[in-house]
Copies of this chain bind each other. A is one copy, B any other.
Amino acid sequence: MKKIAVLGHGVVGSGVIEILMKNRRLLERQTGEAVEAAYILDRRAFPGLPYEDRLVQSIHPILEDSEVSVVLEAMGGVEPAFSWLSECIRQGKSVITSNKELVAEKGDILLALAAEKGVHFLFEASVGGGIPVLQPLRESLTANHITEVAGILNGTTNFILTRMFGEGAAFGEALGLAQELGYAEQDPTADVEGHDACRKICILASIAFGSHFYPREVHTQGITRISAADVAWAARWGGTVKLIGRARQAADGRAALEVAPMLVPNSCLLSQVSGVYNAVRVTGDMVGETMFYGPGAGKLPTASAVVGDLVTALTQPAGSRPLAWGPEKPGALQPWEESIAQRFLRVSGMDREELEAFYPGCRFLDGPEEGETALITAPATQGELDAAGQAAQAAGGRILSRITLLEDNR
């Protein structure tokens, strides 16, 4: 029998316990022996739970039990998770987490510590919920230089945008419904402002490019300013607006990272990903464009990824899995202002001829709104596009909306 511990009995932690029970025999076949969650750590009490006797409120019994070989963490937040997991690794225990904040802030340190101690540190569930994406990115696509990773990395905002496009709902209305259905938290800031997606694109970029990228360094914009007019223009143009986390290798070899609502053409499969589903597009120099799709959150899907990692930790030698990256590399990140993009713009108070002076080479769109002009700029740096916008506004134009274009890579 393999003894493991689960830290946190919230949505994901209780899902892990549920899978360990429901698919007990399957997991026994996979790992060669029974797997038992001997400790479940949570500050709260859960009177009447069938496994109430295994609940503990301190990390110490877990650290002290040398038979516990794997610790699964689903508490969230950097501390105390970081201190506790570091100590688990020092004690020779493998560690698996669904905690994207922890991995985005401390991934390189925990990976180095796990390598030193010869144990696993795995975190498939931290990006894309139940979607297998980190392992395929790092292993199956290992023959490639990854040129871009771009995805719909947050189910809450994708649900809101899907309602805005499908039902014509306003942002506030769609957010209210998401809260009602349990897809959005009462304080939805981390989701709607893009912070959650930013942690995930940092993890993906760290794997793809080999050094740590911190969320605080990444230009991040949420979806709160997307309006019904944007939705109408996008549909007329032949696309949709999605909150995209993107990491590209720029021409100068640096990594360009960004989280923002982007205009996605209907020809790109990401435009068809609806509701709380997530999808990650991975482009490699040899394979071209691939995409990984599935439920980006939720109890059992996320727990499915955690338990998948658990089977890996129980059956495969540590160090055989090349999921690793180094510390932050100075100069590896291209400043957002220098990154190349095309923007969709809605402008009032200025006609096409005037606008063309500020945005040479732009394409104008035919759209549904009177008194507005919409265009897609020629490629330029984000800094240049900002400067052009300031100049246009100084000359009497009013920029109603600016949305970066996501290219179809096929």
The A194-223 residues at the B interface (CB cut-off 8 A) are: none
> Which B residues lie within 8 Å of A322 (CB)?
30, 315
> Which B residues lie within 8 Å of A301 (CB)?
286-288
Q: Given A30-B142, A124-B140, A304 and B284 touching (CB < 8 A)?
A: yes
Interface bits A295-315 vs B (CB < 8 Å: 1, else 0): 100101101110110111001
Of A110-118, A128-136, A230-238, the one with at least 4 CB within 8 A of chain B: A128-136
The A138-157 residues at the B interface (CB cut-off 8 A) are: 139-145
A320 is an interface residue with CB less than 8 A from chain B:
yes
**Smallest CB-CB separation from A131: which chain B residue?**
B290
Least CB distance from A126 to B in Å reads 13
Q: Given A289-B295, A290-B294, A293-B293, A143 and B19 touching (CB < 8 A)?
A: yes
A27–B290 CA distance with the chains assembled, in angstroms: 20
Task: Add 18 more A-B contacts to A26-B145, A292-B292 (CB < 8 A).
Answer: A19-B286, A22-B285, A30-B322, A135-B135, A135-B136, A141-B308, A143-B310, A269-B269, A269-B293, A277-B410, A286-B307, A287-B294, A287-B300, A289-B294, A290-B293, A291-B294, A315-B320, A317-B317
A179 is an interface residue with CB less than 8 A from chain B:
no
Point out the residue from B23, B273, B320 that lies within 8 Å of A144, measured CB to CB: B23
A300–B287 CA distance with the chains assembled, in angstroms: 6
B130 touches A287 (CB 8 A): yes
A316 is an interface residue with CB less than 8 A from chain B:
yes
A272 is an interface residue with CB less than 8 A from chain B:
yes
A269–B277 CA distance with the chains assembled, in angstroms: 11
> Which B residues lie within 8 Å of A135 (CB)?
135-136, 139-140
A136 touches B143 (CB 8 A): no
B293 touches A288 (CB 8 A): no
The A245-293 residues at the B interface (CB cut-off 8 A) are: 269, 272-273, 277, 284-293
Q: Given A23-B145, A294-B291, A300 and B315 touching (CB < 8 A)?
A: no
The A1-53 residues at the B interface (CB cut-off 8 A) are: 19, 22-23, 26-27, 30
Which 5 pairs across A and B sit closest by C-beta, in order of nearness? A132-B140, A290-B294, A143-B307, A132-B136, A130-B287
> Which B residues lie within 8 Å of A140 (CB)?
124, 132, 135-136, 305, 308
**Smallest CB-CB separation from A289: which chain B residue?**
B294
Point out the residue from B23, B142, B144, B272 that lies within 8 Å of A285, measured CB to CB: B23
A269–B271 CA distance with the chains assembled, in angstroms: 10
**Smallest CB-CB separation from A275: which chain B residue?**
B410
A305–B287 CA distance with the chains assembled, in angstroms: 8
> Which B residues lie within 8 Å of A22 (CB)?
285-286
Chain B CB count within 10 A is highest, among A136, A287, A292, A316, for A287
Least CB distance from A153 to B in Å reads 15
B304 touches A141 (CB 8 A): yes
B308 touches A23 (CB 8 A): no
B141 touches A132 (CB 8 A): yes
Listed by A's residue number, 30 A-B pairs whose Cβ atoms lie within 8 Å are A22-B286, A23-B145, A23-B286, A26-B145, A30-B322, A130-B286, A132-B141, A135-B135, A136-B292, A139-B311, A139-B312, A141-B308, A142-B311, A143-B307, A269-B269, A269-B273, A272-B272, A277-B410, A286-B300, A286-B304, A287-B295, A288-B300, A288-B301, A290-B292, A290-B293, A290-B295, A291-B294, A316-B320, A316-B321, A320-B320
Point out the residue from B26, B124, B288, B310 that lies within 8 Å of A294, measured CB to CB: B288
> Which B residues lie within 8 Å of A285 (CB)?
22-23
Least CB distance from A33 to B in Å reads 15
A22–B287 CA distance with the chains assembled, in angstroms: 13
> Which B residues lie within 8 Å of A294 (CB)?
287-291
> Which B residues lie within 8 Å of A315 (CB)?
320, 322
**Smallest CB-CB separation from A321: which chain B residue?**
B316
